[in-house]
């Protein structure tokens, strides 16, 4: 078969009818993900929507959410990209174990993550007691605590994405750079990083989205106080108990903000990936 | 594939029958005969939605209830009363609701999901401080000190509403660092020593054991929380629910609650 024929056959197959065995579950899956979001829109209190949107609490919670998620993402990039590099390229003993440990926060219930953070970084925690005694720093119940909790939960997403990109990247370019006398740091900066840029961006976006929606670790570690630690997810949860309408408005705001950010980033950065 | 599946199912069935045999074989009769239920006990699953502050006492009551009704299986869902009432009104399949405040029970009754709740205990607020009282808390006045780390319940949940009432009565503007979603979350912050003081129920101070010290304060009398309990209208197991509520109201149930620090309603 010639190259052209292969390509033609492949294109033909792609155009063919979707097999029902795939199509049916695919559409059920799609409905499963989309219908609840539609439900939010249907039940939204449209008559009081603008009033609720302009209320001080919503603005405060949204601003806090955006700031904290962005700071947490910055922390994750600064620490997570080198960590991914270490896992993919470093020759450490027990790399498999390390990789498993790094991904633990992915499977850990976030509330447990929050408790773990309290036990380590709290005022009486393993590390926190020294922070408190020596520097007067106490992370729980502060905005910094929110950033810490979000970064803890979101970092594995970034590390996994970047590590995957690193493993897929051709190490021969790095070897070539090394044989030409480049140091490892120069090689990382000028060769490795540009080649994995899409992976880093994808990981960053995932990480940001996860941080924005973080609830369990945040409420456990950072507590809940309006303007200081009440992010959107916490505000949604508490509003749900007294004023479901307000909870829906908050959810829609969060939904719209995340969709706008994700779509604009996708158009700008991720086109090459898909 | 199907054979291994069948093997798993069989193994599970065997395990279940062994377990139930073990539960009912106090008479020394091994597997085979059904456990003798001389007492006409209730059976089936009973789902109880209970305020977080009831955790320890309802766990104990549940154990005793199951001893008397070996065919019943009581499952508890503990959370803030406001979250529970919301879930019930949204159709959660619960049998019994025990609320930490009449307000949340009223929401359920008003929605037509329960009727004729019975008050079964009352609870008073108490100042909780970590062991050794590192913040040097003496009275309710210290809650207005911004330099102290303070945890309160969010005003949406009963313990938070009661706290608001207390501060109002005392003329104090508290300076909390966090408003937690239920009383157990507040207690956890005290146990871990993350806050200097918190307002919780007297029963929570008791359940905190060695790690928590309680300080009584006179204003607490202004906000005594009465706990109502009711069988839910759409209870999947109404008979079991009725039996459980009766058990809570019985002398035996009340004794457990009194021991935990609850008062009579």
Residues A13-72 pLDDT 10s: 555 678 888 999 999 999 999 998 888 888 888 887 777 777 778 888 989 999 999 999
Distance in angstroms (rounded) separating the CA atoms of residues B150 and B145:
9
Q: SS3 for B41?
A: coil
Supply the pTM of this predicted model: 0.75
pLDDT of residue B33: 39
Distance in angstroms (rounded) separating the CA atoms of residues B49 and B94:
7
Q: Does the distance separating the beta carbons of B189 and A223 come in below 8 Å?
A: yes
pLDDT of residue B158: 85
Distance in angstroms (rounded) separating the CA atoms of residues A53 and B109:
31
Higher pLDDT, B1 or A51: A51
Q: Quote the Cα angle for A222-A207-A32, to 5°.
A: 100
Q: Quote the Cα angle for A223-A224-A228, to 5°.
A: 105
Q: Does the distance separating the beta carbons of B178 and A240 come in below 8 Å?
A: no
Does the structure show a pLDDT above 90 at B107?
A: yes
A120 to chain B: closest CA residue: B192
Higher pLDDT, B150 or B80: B150
Chain B environment of A124 (Cβ under 8 Å)? 192-194
Q: Quote the Cα angle for A168-A174-A176, to 5°.
A: 130
* Cβ proximity of A119 and A125 under 8 Å: yes
pLDDT of residue B28: 38
The alpha helices in B130-235, defined as continuous H runs, are 158-170, 183-191, 202-207
Q: Provide, rounded to the nearest whole percent, the portion of chain B with pLDDT above 90.
A: 61
pLDDT of residue B71: 92
Spatial CB neighbours of B260, under 8 Å, sequence gap ≥ 6: B56, B57, B60, B203, B206, B207
A218: number of Cβ within 10 Å? 33
A16: number of Cβ within 10 Å? 8
Spatial CB neighbours of A170, under 8 Å, sequence gap ≥ 6: A195
Binding-site residues on chain A for chain B (CB distance < 8 A): 115, 118-119, 122-124, 138, 140-141, 219-220, 222-226, 229, 237-238, 240-242, 244
- How far does the CA of residue A110 sit from the closest CA of chain B (Å)? 15
Give the gyration radius of chain A's Cα atoms: 23
For the CA atoms of A204, A114, A143, B157, what is the dihedral angle to 10 degrees? 130
ipTM above 0.85 for this complex? no
Domains, chain B, ordered by start: 44-122+226-260 (3.40.190.10), 125-222 (3.40.190.10)
Summarize pLDDT for B163-201 with one digit per residue, the tens: 999 999 899 999 999 999 888 899 999 998 999 999 999
Instruction: Tell me the HSE value of B229 on the side-chain side, using a 13 A CA sphere.
Output: 24
- How far does the CA of residue A242 sit from the closest CA of chain B (Å)? 6
B148 class by beta-carbon count within 10 Å (0-12 exposed, 13-18 middle, 19+ buried): middle
**Chosen from A110, A131, A140 to mutate, greatest number of chain B CBs within 10 A:** A140
Chain A environment of B181 (Cβ under 8 Å)? 219, 224, 237-238
DSSP A136: -
Q: Over A24-51, what HEC string results?
A: HHHHHHHHHHHHHHHHHHHHCCHHHHHH
Closest CA to A206 of A166, A144, A266: A266
Spatial CB neighbours of A36, under 8 Å, sequence gap ≥ 6: none
Does the structure show a pLDDT above 70 at B22?
A: no
- Low-confidence stretches of chain A (pLDDT < 70) are 1-16, 267-274
Q: Which residues on adjacent β-strands are paired with residue B214?
A: B128
């Amino acid at each position: 078969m010639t190259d052209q024929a292969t390509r033609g056959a492949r294109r033909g197959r792609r155009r063919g009818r979707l097999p029902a065995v795939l199509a049916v579950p695919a559409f059920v899956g799609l409905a499963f993900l989309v219908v609840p979001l539609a439900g939010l829109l249907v039940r939204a209190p449209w008559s009081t929507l603008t009033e609720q949107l302009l209320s001080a609490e919503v603005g405060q919670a949204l601003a806090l959410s955006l700031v904290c998620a962005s700071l947490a993402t910055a922390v994750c990039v600064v620490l997570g990209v080198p960590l991914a590099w270490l896992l993919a390229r470093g020759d450490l003993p027990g790399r498999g174990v390390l990789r498993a440990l790094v991904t633990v926060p992915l499977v850990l219930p976030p509330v447990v993550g929050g408790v773990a953070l309290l036990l380590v970084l709290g005022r009486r925690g393993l590390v926190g007691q020294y922070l408190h005694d020596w520097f007067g720093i106490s992370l729980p119940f502060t905005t910094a605590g929110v950033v810490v909790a979000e970064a803890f939960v979101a970092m594995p997403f970034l590390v996994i994405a970047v590590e995957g990109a690193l493993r897929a990247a051709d190490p021969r370019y790095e070897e070539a750079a090394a044989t030409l006398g480049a140091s490892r740091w120069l090689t990382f900066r000028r060769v490795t990083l540009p080649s994995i840029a899409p992976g880093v961006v994808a990981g960053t976006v995932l990480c940001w989205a996860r941080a924005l929606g973080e609830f369990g670790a945040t409420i456990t570690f950072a507590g809940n106080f309006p303007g200081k630690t009440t992010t959107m997810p916490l505000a949604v949860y508490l509003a749900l108990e007294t004023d479901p309408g307000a909870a829906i408005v908050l959810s829609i705001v969060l939904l719209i903000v995340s969709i706008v950010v994700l779509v604009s980033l996708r158009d700008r950065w991720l086109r090459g990936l898909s | 594939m199907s054979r291994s599946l069948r093997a798993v199912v069989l193994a599970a069935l065997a395990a279940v029958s062994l377990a139930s045999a073990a539960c009912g074989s106090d008479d020394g009769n091994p597997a085979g005969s059904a456990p003798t239920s001389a007492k006409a006990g209730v059976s089936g699953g009973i789902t109880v939605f209970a305020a977080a502050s009831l955790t320890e006492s309802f766990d104990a009551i549940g154990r005793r209830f199951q001893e008397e009704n070996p065919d019943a299986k009581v499952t508890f869902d503990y959370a803030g009363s406001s979250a529970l009432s919301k879930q019930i009104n949204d159709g959660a399949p619960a049998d019994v609701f025990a609320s930490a405040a009449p307000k949340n029970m009223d929401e359920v009754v008003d929605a037509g999901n329960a009727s004729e709740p019975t008050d079964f205990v009352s609870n008073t607020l108490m100042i909780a401080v970590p062991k050794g009282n590192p913040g040097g808390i003496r009275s309710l006045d210290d809650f207005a000190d911004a330099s102290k780390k303070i945890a309160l319940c969010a005003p949406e949940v009963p313990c938070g509403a009661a706290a608001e009432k207390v501060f109002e009565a005392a003329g104090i503007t508290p300076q909390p660092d966090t408003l937690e979603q239920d009383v157990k979350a507040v207690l956890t912050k005290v146990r871990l020593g993350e806050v200097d003081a918190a307002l919780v129920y007297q029963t929570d101070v008791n359940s905190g054991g060695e790690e928590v010290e309680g300080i009584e304060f006179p204003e607490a009398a202004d906000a005594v929380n009465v706990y109502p309990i009711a069988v839910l209208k759409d209870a999947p197991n109404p008979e079991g629910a009725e039996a459980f509520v009766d058990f809570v109201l019985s002398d035996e149930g009340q004794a457990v609650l009194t021991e935990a620090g609850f008062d009579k309603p």
